[in-house]
Amino acid sequence: MTCNMIKTDKLCKVFSTDEIETHALTNVNFTVKKGEFVAVMGPSGCGKSTLLNIIGLLDNPTSGSYMLFGHEVAGLRESGRTKFRKGRIGFVFQSFNLIDELTVEQNVELPLTYLGLPAAERRRRVERMLERVRISHRRKHLPAQLSGGQQQRVAVARALITEPELILADEPTGNLDSKNGREVMELLSELNADGTTIVMVTHSERDAAYAHRIVNLFDGCIISEVTCG
């Protein structure tokens, strides 16, 4: 039986300053089933990245419910959010966020050191993952020695190395040309076909077409959902 991995109910996020309140999300009801690939689209400033940050436990909602992996997580403190997502959620960002001083294999290995895995197990997982994303021939290179597409493949490998249940991608092809962007999207599609759940924020209709479902946001509200394929 397919179950909801993500379920929000009347989710709201308000950013407040002394002068103004900005309602980034308003009464968002959003679900993602285990094994789904969902794209979130909308104009700049509509709340896409805010929603992704809350889903990834990088931030808390102001109000509403958020069930993740069957647990209510909306009220967790930062330490609790960090512990809960550790090893279970992988992130892929537009800007790659690789560490310049580390080689490809060291960048990919880094999340495993935080999990305390033995060195031999870390090496085995890294070798297998670099082959999976077709970047093992660049294992000793630094990020600056790679193309944009290669850097993003390293970023995807790093996100996957802990074998997470959920991948969150924020404009994963935003800094890539069309060829490299297509390769990254095909890689994400392959990973989803292997069972990884993916939620992706994108401006690109071409990228969104890889998803099973497209959710459209406008002014912090879900205005429509479209099933693909």
Mean pLDDT of 131-138: 91
pLDDT in tens, 33-75: 999 999 999 998 899 999 999 999 999 999 999 999 999 999 8
Least confident of 91-95, 163-167, 195-199, 205-209: 91-95
What would the pLDDT profile of 64-102 be if each residue is shown by its tens digit?
999 999 999 998 999 999 999 988 999 998 888 899 999
Question: In this predicted structure, what is the pLDDT of residue 3?
Answer: 80
Cβ neighbours of residue 10 closer than 8 Å, sequence gap 6 or more = 27, 28, 29, 63, 64, 65
The structure's pTM equals 0.90
pLDDT averaged over every residue in the chain: 92
Mean pLDDT of all residues in 144-170: 92
For residue 1, the model assigns a pLDDT of 40
Among residues of the chain, what percentage have pLDDT more than 70?
99
Closest CA to 181 of 158, 162, 209, 140: 209
Residue type, 125: R
Give the pLDDT mean for 169-185.
89
Q: If you write DSSP's letter for every residue of the chain in order, what string do you get?
A: ---EEEEEEEEEEEEE-SS-EEEEEEEEEEEEETT-EEEEE-STTSSHHHHHHHHTTSS--SEEEEEETTEE-TT--HHHHHHHHTTTEEEEETT----TTS-HHHHHHHHHHHTT--HHHHHHHHHHHHHHTT-GGGTT--GGGS-HHHHHHHHHHHHHTT--SEEEEESTTTTS-HHHHHHHHHHHHHHHHTT-EEEEE-S-HHHHTTSSEEEEEETTEEEEEEE--
Instruction: Give residue 229's pLDDT.
Output: 66
Q: Is the pLDDT of residue 134 over 60?
A: yes
